[in-house]
Structure 1
């Protein structure tokens, strides 16, 4: 089990108090604006109304913020928490299921239970670790592929709306990669506002106020197998495990059990309001844990707290973001979401085919997941992992 340790760089001189605070604000802004469109797209795909999707975004923002503050303050490490962006992409690829939105919320609660069990029952974590990483990443890559094609198809469906978004992303991918996706969303927002202004349309003020819509959960076989299990695997393999590795690269050993208990509880609190999964941050974790948060590693925990506070502030604008998504012209928001997922798609593909011995099972997993087929009410993600494991057993049985 991973234990918490505190590390410092031993550097002399008085630390700059503003740097960790600013690093936390940047972490939240980049993480939030780069992927909230993916979250809203995923929730809408599995049956959430615009109001329920906005509620889910608000619930995730608040629970993420509180989890960041609690973990960073208690451990004195810059532990940042995020929503599961790959999990949201999985939802977008899954679509509606039997039982509707209530069954989806029930699946979210099951994911929360599984994350909590991972913290208190080491055997469950060991079972997850036995899933070949190449297959888990291949499943994720297959899920992401249709979403990553949205900028391409969007340029054909709505060139005047999507082209400014893609060009903005391309320019800043060269000049300021960290801000490429947030600025692409800013371009999309300008497109939406310009369209509303041209039409003389207005938005009721009540639609922009934050609100919570609670849903009584139900559980079905399809929601368990088609959403809960794949969402849990993707969240663990693509968020929690890499998140621990990123923190270790900066000299921090994340306390595994407290981290799983806090994120599992956060997921349970967010689920009835429409939040899908809360987990350790992976890519954005480097912004708060790295040198940008100051030279003294023992003070970078302040960046984690600052990230949490910033998420709470951003949560107040959840309905505004959701309204922009609803009012956006065709193909504009899917293009933003696709651009936001390109890096994750590239990483997943690389990890899936990196080991030649695992390449064929990974390719089969990828193709089944990318097909989007649904059988017996169960989504393609489950069948992809099943097919990949079957091919792997056949090819590897009897071999060293």
Structure 2
């Protein structure tokens, strides 16, 4: 040992000696994050009118953009800042369906959402307004959106028991052994079942080289109200706020303005290629920001870089992933999607009922968002938030 070495040098050397650990952590986090919900993302794109090629383009665009932004922010601030797609946003798209103006109108709504996220980073009063949205209502709205998809595994068993039961059994068994691998194992089983039961012929093999498909976005009042505003709210409440909490819990002080401005700009840039909102990751961030990623917090940003590289590699298989989703029996994909969303549904429902005094307002939001009703072409998610918010204001005034 060098007698002139200081304790700080020893700690730095020890930290670098563990640098293989965050590389593994980041790689695992990316695989789990991608395999767990890529079906949800593709379902969302297809639901709002994307073709198979356009859905694959959107998935690839998001993977590349979130990887580049994660690397830039993580290296700049030496913090494991993990950027991800908005899973709740994809669920919202799947529940909303095609609106007037079709797929281009949805892309225009994605761009508006990006502008709103930039505004949060640049305009402090706007940021305070967003933070004032009651958490219980945001959670209730998300839970209502998720309910239909989380019922899909049971419906799949009723419709195709031979195909759906193996997926659910694998999910249940693997979840008892290692919970984090339960959803990827279920998705892998779904892929196997699709391959085994796909009809011979009739489907052209997808190109192994993914293409970015450019579509001119359109804009309408309906797309802003039905998609952009609800997408913005669920992304902020269900992704960005939990993502910030994960970083703070692990001792980091994330830079809010660069994160929000960066994700907003990236969301605008990927929209014409089919990508929707980018935001802070929550679950995968927990894998990369905690002690399991590296004993020294100053070296955990490496996990973000390795995870970003993995996401790009996975995104290159977007065309194959989209082909699997489009040729598979719909109930099978919906079953895998529902299993992937169980955790999010449970967390949202628990958050919705966490304040007894506001529980009835949260339940109004929940059932309205889950009902699928539509007025003036505006979807149930928005009306759920309006109905619950009105009842919450009434209750508060009555109590006063």
Interval containing the TM-score (normalised by the shorter chain): over 0.9
What is residue 399 of structure 1 aligned with on the other side? 399
What is residue 263 of structure 1 aligned with on the other side? 263
Q: Residue 209 and residue 132 in structure 1: after superposition, are their counterparts in 2 closer, same or farther (change >3 A)?
A: same
Correspondences of 1:261-340 after superposition (within 5 Å) = 261-340=261-340
User: Do residues 93 (structure 1) and 81 (structure 2) align?
Assistant: no
User: 54, 64, 78: which one pairs with 1:76?
Assistant: 78
For the Cα contact (< 8 Å) 2:15–2:295, is it kept in 1? no
What is residue 58 of structure 1 aligned with on the other side? 60
Equivalent-residue separation in structure 2 for 1:309 and 1:215 (angstroms): 26
What is residue 105 of structure 1 aligned with on the other side? 107
Correspondences of 1:152-171 after superposition (within 5 Å) = 152-171=154-173
Shift of residue 398, structure 1, vs aligned partner: 4.7
Equivalent-residue separation in structure 2 for 1:133 and 1:179 (angstroms): 29
Equivalent-residue separation in structure 2 for 1:63 and 1:32 (angstroms): 14
What is residue 380 of structure 2 aligned with on the other side? 380
Most deviating of 258-267 and 136-145 = 258-267
* Paired positions, count: 390
Shift of residue 327, structure 1, vs aligned partner: 1.5
For the Cα contact (< 8 Å) 2:206–2:319, is it kept in 1? no
What is residue 367 of structure 1 aligned with on the other side? 367
Shift of residue 311, structure 1, vs aligned partner: 1.0
Equivalent-residue separation in structure 2 for 1:130 and 1:16 (angstroms): 42
Shift of residue 201, structure 1, vs aligned partner: 2.9
For the Cα contact (< 8 Å) 1:52–1:274, is it kept in 2? yes
Shift of residue 354, structure 1, vs aligned partner: 0.7
Equivalent-residue separation in structure 2 for 1:13 and 1:398 (angstroms): 58
Equivalent-residue separation in structure 1 for 2:320 and 2:86 (angstroms): 21
Shift of residue 50, structure 1, vs aligned partner: 1.2
Equivalent-residue separation in structure 2 for 1:206 and 1:357 (angstroms): 53
Equivalent-residue separation in structure 2 for 1:238 and 1:343 (angstroms): 12
**C-alpha deviations, 1:248-303, integer Å up to 9, x for none?**
11111110000111111111111111111110001111111112211111111100
Equivalent-residue separation in structure 1 for 2:38 and 2:262 (angstroms): 22
What is residue 196 of structure 2 aligned with on the other side? 194
Equivalent-residue separation in structure 2 for 1:163 and 1:281 (angstroms): 31
Most deviating of 377-386 and 12-21 = 12-21
> Gaps (5+ residues) in structure 1?
1-8
Most deviating of 364-373 and 389-398 = 389-398
What is residue 233 of structure 1 aligned with on the other side? 233
For the Cα contact (< 8 Å) 1:109–1:271, is it kept in 2? yes
Q: What secondary structure is seen at the aligned counterpart in 2 of 1:336?
A: helix
What is residue 37 of structure 2 aligned with on the other side? 35
Correspondences of 1:175-254 after superposition (within 5 Å) = 175-196=177-198, 199-201=199-201, 204-254=204-254
Shift of residue 393, structure 1, vs aligned partner: 1.2
What is residue 137 of structure 2 aligned with on the other side? 135
Equivalent-residue separation in structure 2 for 1:264 and 1:258 (angstroms): 10
Q: What secondary structure is seen at the aligned counterpart in 1 of 2:283?
A: coil
Equivalent-residue separation in structure 2 for 1:99 and 1:179 (angstroms): 39
Shift of residue 207, structure 1, vs aligned partner: 3.3
Most deviating of 321-330 and 382-391 = 321-330
**C-alpha deviations, 1:23-61, integer Å up to 9, x for none?**
110111010110110011111111111111111111111
**C-alpha deviations, 1:308-334, integer Å up to 9, x for none?**
111111111111111111121241110
What is residue 174 of structure 1 aligned with on the other side? 176
For the Cα contact (< 8 Å) 1:151–1:335, is it kept in 2? yes
Q: What secondary structure is seen at the aligned counterpart in 2 of 1:82?
A: strand
Q: What secondary structure is seen at the aligned counterpart in 2 of 1:207?
A: coil
Q: What secondary structure is seen at the aligned counterpart in 1 of 2:375?
A: coil
Equivalent-residue separation in structure 1 for 2:142 and 2:71 (angstroms): 29
For the Cα contact (< 8 Å) 1:10–1:296, is it kept in 2? no
Shift of residue 73, structure 1, vs aligned partner: 0.7
Shift of residue 161, structure 1, vs aligned partner: 1.1
For the Cα contact (< 8 Å) 2:45–2:93, is it kept in 1? yes
The normalised TM-score by structure 1 is 0.95
Equivalent-residue separation in structure 1 for 2:28 and 2:348 (angstroms): 25
What is residue 3 of structure 1 aligned with on the other side? none
Equivalent-residue separation in structure 2 for 1:342 and 1:82 (angstroms): 19
**C-alpha deviations, 1:137-170, integer Å up to 9, x for none?**
0000000000000000000111111111111100
Correspondences of 1:342-361 after superposition (within 5 Å) = 342-361=342-361
Most deviating of 11-20 and 187-196 = 11-20
Equivalent-residue separation in structure 1 for 2:203 and 2:308 (angstroms): 30
Q: What secondary structure is seen at the aligned counterpart in 2 of 1:292?
A: coil
